[in-house]
Amino acid sequence: MNIFKRESDIFGQYSSEKIYEAMKQFFKITKKIKKKLGANSYKLDKYLNMLLKSINFEFNENAAAEGAEAYRVLRGICFSILNFDTRYQNHGFYKTAKEFIELNKFNYKETHTLLEIYSALLTPKFTDYVVKNYISELKMQSSSVLDIIDLQDSYEYLSNAVGKPKVDSLNSAIMESFLFCPVVNSFLQSITNNYLLCLLYRDKETSKQIFQLITDP
């Protein structure tokens, strides 16, 4: 399967018609539900306030910056182990990295090449470690703007009052209008971008890139 048949397969696609229609539907359905709720329309306002705040409680640019910082820490851990210093010895991933580096030796002269190799090879385990921690932090932060039980109760109330299909249509319009890229994806993509830079680094001694050194027999 050719994964990139056109440029947009790499950088993504934008459909102004789809987004415009979703936003149009968001306001249209909201008005209809409010009309049906009458004096209880404040219940919908409360529900929408919770949803919109929860979507926006963490900005994607912050998530991307945190992902880049996380990868900088991985490189710092690897560099400190290669240089026999203990700056990162209290980091939760230090022991895992140290054991891996001690068990896997490479005969390359360039310290920077070794740094890139170890950073690349440790990326999968480190990503699992750091993303789980990031999600735990997000859950703690989101609790200040989002009460899942309260949100579920509001959803059930609205579904009983105006019908589940209408509320689900509203939720779909919200997703299509406001949630293009969840913050965890931005965090993960930032890590991946730095991972790719590691794989593309070229060793001066062999003139090969890191992904070649790792995959050559």
Secondary structure letter of residue 40 according to DSSP: G
115 falls in which pLDDT band (50, 70, 90)? very high
Asked if residue 10 belongs to a domain, the reply is no
Distance CA(46)–CA(68), nearest Å, equals 36
**pLDDT tens digits for 185-211?**
999 999 999 999 999 999 999 999 999
- Tell me the whole-structure pTM to 2 decimals: 0.87
Asked if residue 38 belongs to a domain, the reply is yes
Count of structural domains, the chain: 1
In DSSP notation, 150-210 reads HHHHHHHHHHHHH-HHHHHHHHHHHHHHH-SS-HHHHHHHHHHHHHHHHHHPBPTTT--BH
Asked if residue 58 belongs to a domain, the reply is yes
Q: What is the pLDDT of residue 10?
A: 72
The two three-digit tokens of residue 59, written as one number: 């900005």
Domain that holds residue 38: 15-215
Q: Is the pLDDT of residue 92 over 70?
A: yes
**pLDDT tens digits for 67-81?**
999 999 999 999 999
Distance CA(88)–CA(100), nearest Å, equals 15
Secondary structure letter of residue 4 according to DSSP: -
Asked if residue 152 belongs to a domain, the reply is yes
Asked if residue 175 belongs to a domain, the reply is yes
Asked if residue 139 belongs to a domain, the reply is yes
The two three-digit tokens of residue 186, written as one number: 């931005």
| C-alpha closest to that of 161 among 150, 172, 171, 153 | 153
Asked if residue 1 belongs to a domain, the reply is no
- Mean pLDDT (whole number) for 175-183: 90
- Mean pLDDT (whole number) for 119-141: 94
